[in-house]
């Protein structure tokens, strides 16, 4: 399952730019990968982990702007079509291969 995060945050003032940077750093620290500018996705094992990730997003949301989350199964994600361009390979780990549950 994947959790997508879409956000549109204001960057008019220095304080708003700081909030934008902090939110973006939080997403990266949590393991989200950037698909497009302001669109990030994270691989999770099940619906419970997806719910927990969304709850953590609520706790770290910026005070202004719009943040949306979407849960998508791997089967749905695999049907994504690239209309323009091509998918770039990432150096980051984006599979559950080698995943160990303790």
Residue pair 70/3 in contact by the 8 Å Cβ criterion: yes
Would you state the torsion angle of the CA atoms of residues 47, 52, 54, 57, taken in this order, to the nearest 10 degrees?
A: -160
Is 12 annotated among the ligand-binding residues? Answer: no
Single out the residue of 29, 30, 23, 19 nearest to residue 6, CA to CA.
Answer: 23
Query: Positive or negative CA dihedral for 91, 97, 41, 63?
Result: negative
- Tell me the Cα Rg of the chain: 15
The annotated binding site for Mg(2+) is made up of 8
The annotated binding site is made up of 8
């Amino acid at each position: 399952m994947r959790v997508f995060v879409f956000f549109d945050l204001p960057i008019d003032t220095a304080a708003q730019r700081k909030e934008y940077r902090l939110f973006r750093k939080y997403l990266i620290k949590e393991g989200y990968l950037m698909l497009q500018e302001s669109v990030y996705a994270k691989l999770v094992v099940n619906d419970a982990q997806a719910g927990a990730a969304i709850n953590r997003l609520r706790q770290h949301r910026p005070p202004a702007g719009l943040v949306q989350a979407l849960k998508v199964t791997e089967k749905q994600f695999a049907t994504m079509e690239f209309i323009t361009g091509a998918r770039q390979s990432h150096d980051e780990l984006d599979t559950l291969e080698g995943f160990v549950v303790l």
